[in-house]
Chain A
């Protein structure tokens, strides 16, 4: 299964980065193709994503459950859901680690194990992985711009 690992630094203190990431609407606005975020309870929420890869459009709704949380440094979550046509299942295990490099600088590291089952899995994992990488780059860029330009939602 594809594993995505990414780390980057943001010019913002660790607490602010953490708070931003915990603000679902703010965070959601950084996720490419994020169409809706709904909070179910404190540690559970649902997101609907839309991703296009050439001729394929996937629109999965994922239920994300946070099962390990050590603010403001560490978070583990799992995400599961089906594509809108129900023929593909997504299953992700995510971990997020923040490291304070200095007062105004934080290293953000995240890792996702992505498991796709069903129809979309036929398409070839290699290309999916490539697409995830692209999306992650975009996410990183948006996140940095939001945090470093100070225009965050709640912080």
Chain B
């Protein structure tokens, strides 16, 4: 196996274009090093992009938060800007693994690995985040919601890398929350549920809603039916119940050592309710 450490995005992209399927991008290596050790992935060349320092930033441009793909989870969690203006995102980042993992792992790496149990994807999707993908020819933007295709598969082509995540500034009276269920703190999510709620001027009715589940299907799942149960309505016990029921219906969890399909589906309901309730609190 060869190893390359490009210093620029251009250099990285041309390496990817050259080696095609045989190349794997590595950043923090949290997920990939396990797969390499288990020999589940045996690339011809490992393209280590951690040296591309230009992809490590967090900035607040007029109407959006811009996160460089190589930001460490820990930076993201501790960043004053994120903590201040996107506290829900900082809290979601806090739930990723342990401090050591958060010091190693990158935001972009986590998203590109596309484990459906990622803690960042559900809240970012709920808040309408967009991903910037680049190759030698140029760049394109894709809604994060459409970025994930299947288990561990994204819409990145072989010669592309994810360079940036852009998060639009949320409108007033908007709350976002991410709830995670795992048997142990620091585990991958068994259930992830993110909710976004925007209330109307007199804080009576929900005018915008976003519900996204993690870890209960091949990709993060946006539950439109759950959103509809909230949008345009007063958020009360009845609409909460409907949203939770819709989320349960939309989920397709698998039985494994973290729990049976049946239990996980029940927990989707509980986590969705909690996420919506917390988002509502934050919005009010």
Chain A's interface size range is 10 to 19
The verdict on A54 contacting B38 (CB below 8 Å), with A124-B256, A127-B254 known, is no
On whether the beta carbons of B40 and A123 are closer than 8 Å, the reply is yes
Chain B's interface size range is 10 to 19
Smallest CB gap from A54: residue in B: B152
The verdict on A55 contacting B254 (CB below 8 Å), with A85-B42, A122-B40 known, is no
Out of B35, B152, B254, B255, name the residue touching A53 (CB < 8 Å).
B152
> Could you tell me which A residues sit within 8 Å of B by CB distance?
53-56, 85, 87, 119-120, 122-127, 129-131
Out of A55, A87, A120, A125, name the residue touching B152 (CB < 8 Å).
A55
Q: What residues on B are CB-neighbors of A55 within 8 Å?
A: 24, 35, 40-41, 152
The verdict on A56 contacting B41 (CB below 8 Å), with A127-B151, A130-B151, A131-B151 known, is yes
Q: What residues on A are CB-neighbors of B39 within 8 Å?
A: 85, 87, 119
CA distance A124 to B218 in the complex (A): 13
Q: What residues on B are CB-neighbors of A120 within 8 Å?
A: 40
On whether the beta carbons of B256 and A54 are closer than 8 Å, the reply is no
Extra pairs beyond A54-B151, A85-B39, A130-B254 (16, CB < 8 Å): A53-B150, A53-B151, A54-B152, A54-B153, A55-B24, A55-B35, A55-B40, A55-B41, A55-B152, A56-B40, A56-B41, A120-B40, A125-B256, A126-B256, A127-B254, A131-B151
Main secondary structure of the interface of A (DSSP, over half): helix
CA distance A127 to B41 in the complex (A): 17
Q: What residues on A are CB-neighbors of B24 within 8 Å?
A: 55
Task: Return 12 A-B CB contacts under 8 Å, by A number.
Answer: A54-B150, A54-B152, A55-B35, A56-B41, A119-B39, A119-B40, A120-B40, A124-B256, A126-B254, A129-B254, A130-B254, A131-B151
Q: What residues on B are CB-neighbors of A85 within 8 Å?
A: 39, 42
CA distance A37 to B51 in the complex (A): 46
On whether the beta carbons of B218 and A130 are closer than 8 Å, the reply is yes
What per-residue 1/0 map shows which CB atoms of B247-264 lie under 8 Å from chain A? Answer: 000000011100000000
Q: What residues on B are CB-neighbors of A54 within 8 Å?
A: 114, 150-153
Q: What residues on A are CB-neighbors of B114 within 8 Å?
A: 54
The verdict on A122 contacting B38 (CB below 8 Å), with A54-B114, A127-B254, A129-B254 known, is yes
CA distance A112 to B114 in the complex (A): 29
Q: How far is the CB of B86 from chain A (nearest CB, A)?
A: 29
CA distance A122 to B38 in the complex (A): 8
List residues of B (226-269) whose CB comes within 8 Å of A's CBs: 254-256
Q: What residues on B are CB-neighbors of A87 within 8 Å?
A: 39
List residues of B (142-187) whose CB comes within 8 Å of A's CBs: 150-153
Q: How far is the CB of B48 from chain A (nearest CB, A)?
A: 16
Q: What residues on B are CB-neighbors of A53 within 8 Å?
A: 150-152
CA distance A129 to B151 in the complex (A): 12
CA distance A53 to B42 in the complex (A): 14
Out of B35, B40, B255, name the residue touching A126 (CB < 8 Å).
B255
Q: How far is the CB of A52 from chain B (nearest CB, A)?
A: 8
Smallest CB gap from A52: residue in B: B153
CA distance A131 to B151 in the complex (A): 9
Q: How far is the CB of A136 from chain B (nearest CB, A)?
A: 15
CA distance A54 to B116 in the complex (A): 11
Q: How far is the CB of A132 from chain B (nearest CB, A)?
A: 12
Q: What residues on B are CB-neighbors of A119 within 8 Å?
A: 38-40
List residues of B (38-78) whose CB comes within 8 Å of A's CBs: 38-42
